[in-house]
Each structure stands twice: as C-alpha cells, then as structure tokens.
A and B are shown apart, each in its own frame.
Chain A
Amino acid sequence: AQKITQTQPGMFVQEKEAVTLDCTYDTSDPSYGLFWYKQPSSGEMIFLIYQGSYDQQNATEGRYSLNFQKARKSANLVISASQLGDSAMYFCAMREGFSGGSNYKLTFGKGTLLTVNP
C-alpha cells in the first residue's frame, strides 16, 4: 500500500483564487510529520509547510495552510490567492517515528502539477 497518495495528477486554478491539493497518508506510527514541497521546473524542491501528528492546530505559512484531518489521515495543502509563480509540482511527504533507520526517511507522493492561469 502506498504511504502517501496524491490523487490529483494535475490541477488548474485562476490567478488570485484559492486551490486545495489533496494528500492522504497511511501509517500506524503515532508519531509522524507531514511536509509539503514545491518543485518548479528548475528542479529544486522547496520546503513549504510542516504538520506534526501531535499538533493541535493546522499549520500555516503565509499563503499556505495545511488542512490536517487526523482521523481521515489527510493533510491537504491550501494555497490562497494563487499567483502565476505558484505553477509547479507539489509533493506531499511523510516522516514516521523518532527512532531507527526510518527516522530519517521522507516518503514522497507522486505529486500534483499545479497550473495557475492568468
């Protein structure tokens, strides 16, 4: 079973509108962290936002917010007021546990290609 599922291969949004990118995850570990990264066509992965499994509130970073629904195991990224520069691939990733070799491992989803239209 996939640990990170991003069901939207591609999304389109009009400039200045909000968009939600879906991410569901699978883990039996009570301690985990969820990350979103942006990858423009240049290739660099840019860290956007983090949500810990024990965090009571949804994470926010500027125009990015994370809609964390723990019981549903979903961690959707919301981008408000989309800009043309937001056009990129977006990856959801998870890190499980605090000990052992998997402590370091980020498991990535397949990504969602977001296109912002003017």
Chain B
Amino acid sequence: ETGVTQTPRHLVMGMTNKKSLKCEQHLGHNAMYWYKQSAKKPLELMFVYSLEERVENNSVPSRFSPECPNSSHLFLHLHTLQPEDSALYLCASSQVGFDTFYEQYFGPGTRLTVT
C-alpha cells in the first residue's frame, strides 16, 4: 500500500449505529487530519493530530470521536449521527515543521450516508 488509504470507501448507517472510519498513511508523516466535505461547502477541518497528540478540534460535535494510536493510523468513531452528517470524510497526512509549509496528502475518502 502506498500513500493514504481509507476504509470503508462507502458507509450507510442508521442514526443509532456505532461505526468507525479508518485511515492509514504510508508516507512517514507525523501529522494526520480529518476533514468533512459536504455538498456545496468548502472542505472543513475537523481534527488534527501531530505526533499523536490532538492539536486541533474545530468545534466538532461529540458524536464524532477521533483516535490516533500511532503516527500511521487515525480513526474516526461515529455514534448517534444525524442525517446532516452525511458527507465525504477525508483523511490527510503531512509532515509538520516550524519553518516551512508541507503539503497534505489525502486519502480517497469515505462516503458516509446517515439514514
């Protein structure tokens, strides 16, 4: 596997279900990100993990719970979601440095539908 992978690619869940999205990066990066992409809206940053510590949480509802067990893996645990949470969830990774900007590399996304 190369780059950033995400599973599952598609997910349909009811509002009472619990599910998890998985992301894995094979690039040796030290930061990972969750983004939400809804129709006709700009990409929204949800969470950032740098060196396995959560460094940003963009006012995301508690029904979304991230987990970063190591620098290569990132999970997004979902429970009691709402229909408006239906979206494409993108994972990304990058190096982080304090004197330069590094591009983020994205996975293919998980298309989530909440019924």
* A positions within 8 Å CB-CB of B: 4, 32-33, 35, 37, 42-47, 50, 52, 91, 93, 95, 98-99, 101, 103-111
**B41 x A105 contact (CB < 8 A):** no
In the bound complex, how far is the Cα of B106 from the Cα of A35, in angstroms? 13
From B33, B41, B56, B105, give the contact of A47 (CB < 8 A). B105
**B108 x A108 contact (CB < 8 A):** no
* For the complex of A and B, 6 pairs with smallest distance between CB atoms: A33-B101, A45-B106, A108-B43, A43-B109, A44-B108, A47-B103
**A45 x B92 contact (CB < 8 A):** yes
Residues of B within 8 A of A52 (CB): 100-101
**A104 x B55 contact (CB < 8 A):** yes
**A104 x B109 contact (CB < 8 A):** no
Residues of A within 8 A of B31 (CB): 104
Residues of B within 8 A of A99 (CB): 98
**A50 x B48 contact (CB < 8 A):** no
Q: Give the distance to chain A from B54, nearest Cβ to Cβ, in Å.
A: 11
In the bound complex, how far is the Cα of B99 from the Cα of A4, in angstroms? 23
Known: A50-B101, A93-B43, A110-B41. 9 other contacts (CB 8 A): A35-B103, A45-B90, A45-B106, A47-B104, A50-B103, A52-B100, A95-B101, A99-B98, A101-B56
Residues of A within 8 A of B40 (CB): 110
Q: Give the distance to chain A from B7, nearest Cβ to Cβ, in Å.
A: 14
Query: A44-B107, A44-B109 in contact; A108/B98 too (CB < 8 A)?
Result: no
B88 at the interface (CB under 8 A from A): yes
